């Protein structure tokens, strides 16, 4: 079972045309994308996570403070680390962590890469959820493993290969 908290931390979307350009994902879509991304180690457990949709300013501040990169980024993942006392008491915590996704960056990247906003949102959620489960792309072997898994998950969801710049019909 999945318990997903979807937080909207972007303001100033009173202009419906501007909001439409960002094509915000729904709770149901986010749950679908996360569920498809859960690997065997956690897929049979109750899993909790938070997805926070943020502005460029918040993304930039978090990216600067936690990664030393002073610019907004598409997705940041913060894997939950249980306090030692809970682990020692044998407490089972199924909180994966937090994903922070910048709506402006996702919209801009989708446009630049000639992808639909929905497919790019799906990719960011899939990518971030894999990070929360320990996958990474720091070295070439890790990157190949993670990207292959992302391509497989995205195909299973009906989306094209996210590492190709043009949308393809499946």
List of domains in the chain: 2-156 (3.40.390.30)
Mean pLDDT (the chain, rounded)? 87
Distance from the Cα of residue 69 to its chain's centroid: 19
pLDDT digits (tens, 9 = 90+) for 40-99: 777 677 899 999 999 999 999 999 999 999 999 999 999 998 777 665 555 556 789 999
Q: What is the reported pTM?
A: 0.87
**Under 8 Å CB-to-CB from 15, ≥6 apart: which residues?**
none
User: What one-character-per-residue DSSP string does 72-90 give?
Assistant: --SEEEEE----HHHHHTT
pLDDT score of 37 more than 50: yes
* 116: pLDDT strictly greater than 60: yes
pLDDT of residue 89: 54
């Amino acid at each position: 079972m999945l318990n997903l908290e979807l937080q909207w931390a972007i303001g100033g979307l009173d202009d419906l045309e501007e909001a439409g350009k960002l094509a915000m994902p729904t709770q149901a879509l986010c749950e679908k994308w996360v569920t498809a991304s859960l690997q065997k180690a956690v897929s049979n457990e109750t899993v909790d996570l938070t997805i926070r949709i943020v502005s460029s300013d918040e993304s930039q501040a978090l990216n600067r403070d936690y990664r030393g990169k002073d610019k907004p980024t598409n997705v940041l993942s913060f894997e939950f680390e249980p306090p030692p006392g809970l682990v020692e008491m044998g407490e089972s915590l199924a909180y994966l962590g937090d994903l922070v996704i910048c709506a402006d960056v996702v919209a801009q990247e989708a446009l630049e890469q000639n992808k639909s906003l929905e497919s790019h949102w799906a990719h960011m959620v899939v990518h971030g959820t894999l990070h929360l489960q320990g996958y990474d792309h720091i070295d070439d072997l890790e990157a190949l493993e993670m990207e292959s898994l992302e391509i497989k998950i995205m195909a299973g969801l009906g989306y094209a290969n996210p590492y190709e710049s043009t949308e393809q019909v499946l």
